Amino acid sequence: MARGRFHDKLNYFMGVVVSGILIGFGVDLLFVFFFLIGHFFSTLVFSPDTDISPKKRSGILQFFLYPYSIVFRHRGISHSIFFGTLTRIFYGIIFFGVMIFVFHKMGYLKYSVKSYFDTLSGFIGDFDYNREEYRPLICFFSGMFLADLFHIIADRFSSLIRKIKPW
């Protein structure tokens, strides 16, 4: 398995390379910005290794990340190329739903969990890539997905090298 610092350096480098490619192809700088935000969010905070234990550098987000580390075992679905990013997105959606429920019941929030999920289902149900309001979100999630993909590829490559030539 590749070490955390290697993952970070690889993802920093690849984030810059992919952003440069996007700019080279004439992608709007705002969309490249959202791509980078998603890429670095997935690299620094919500990576496939979030299931090992919440990272110290996540600060107050440890509260958000700790339950994920309990629910998902390492190298399980969180390291799946197709489902890893989706599990973290769904986890985030459910976590915020629970937080809205708790704060609503405590009287700190007028917005209910039903309103949250109704708004979310309406947003997803009306999805159209051609609408401008969806594109930043798509760029953000694309950045997350690519950061996770580079992370998983590095892990698999590192494991393959160790099998071929044990140190």
Q: What is the pLDDT of residues 136-167, one digit of tens each?
A: 999 999 999 999 999 888 888 877 777 787 65
pTM of the predicted structure, to 2 decimals: 0.83
If you average pLDDT over residues 89-93, what whole number do you get? 91
Extents of the domains making up the chain:
4-164
31 by Cβ neighbours in 10 Å (0-12 / 13-18 / 19+) ranks as middle
Q: How confident is the model at residue 56 (pLDDT cuts 50, 70, 90)?
A: low
pLDDT tens string 5-25: 777 888 899 999 999 999 999
- Other CB atoms within 10 A of residue 123 CB: 12
Cα gap 73→1, rounded to integer Å: 15
Percentage with pLDDT > 70 across the chain:
92
List Cα–Cα distances, 18 to 38, 39, 114, in angstroms.
Answer: 13, 10, 38
Specify the higher pLDDT residue, 119 or 2: 119
Single-letter residue type at 106: M
How do the residues of the chain divide into helix, strand and coil, expressed in percent and rounded to 5? 75, 0, 25
